[in-house]
Amino acid sequence: MVEEGSVIEIQLSNEPWDQVEVDAFVCPINSSCLFSSYPASRIRELSGLPLEQLLRAHTPLAVGAAFVTEAGRLRARHLIHVPNTAKPGEQVQVEDIARATSAVIVTCELKNFNSVAVPLMGAFETGIPAEEAARAIHSEFRSHRGERPSRVLFVARNSDEIDVFEMAIEGLS
């Protein structure tokens, strides 16, 4: 599915994350920059980099902030690390997902990233319903009127995540 008609082209993908070719891949984390839960733990594993060590000197990162690193073994050229909780295991709120997504957009503008891959964030162990998370992510990108990113790839690990991203794009609850 491709959504066009505005400044940003939004696409859905279920290809393996290490094969996604974009300027940046979003890595949702907590403010302590611990990669202990999905999807951060998976992205760390795929990158092959000591991401916690790379970010340690910059902690705590505030929700709504972003930090860019190289992407290691991923085809993406960079990782954009965005906290969506203050502490590991803390309850994620819809506003936190919106702030993290906004930080991704600002980072893309500042770093001249034209393409970005965004996994579902905030909808896991201590998260919010996946539909709410997908709507918050989609809403932030849809309302953005800047030049970058021009292409957003919502990356999913399974058909359920594809479905929630499709519902967000189509405006269904």
pTM for this structure?
0.93
User: Into how many domains does the chain fold?
Assistant: 1
Token pair listed for 1: 């599915």
Token pair listed for 110: 């500042």
pLDDT in tens, 4-63: 445 789 999 999 999 999 999 999 999 999 998 889 999 999 999 999 999 999 999 999
Range of the domain at 67: 2-170
pLDDT in tens, 76-97: 999 999 999 888 878 889 999 9
Structural contact between residues 59 and 51, judged by C-beta atoms closer than 8 angstroms: no
| CATH code of the domain covering residue 144 | 3.40.220.10
Q: At what angle do helices 94-111 and 130-143 cross, to 10 degrees?
A: 40
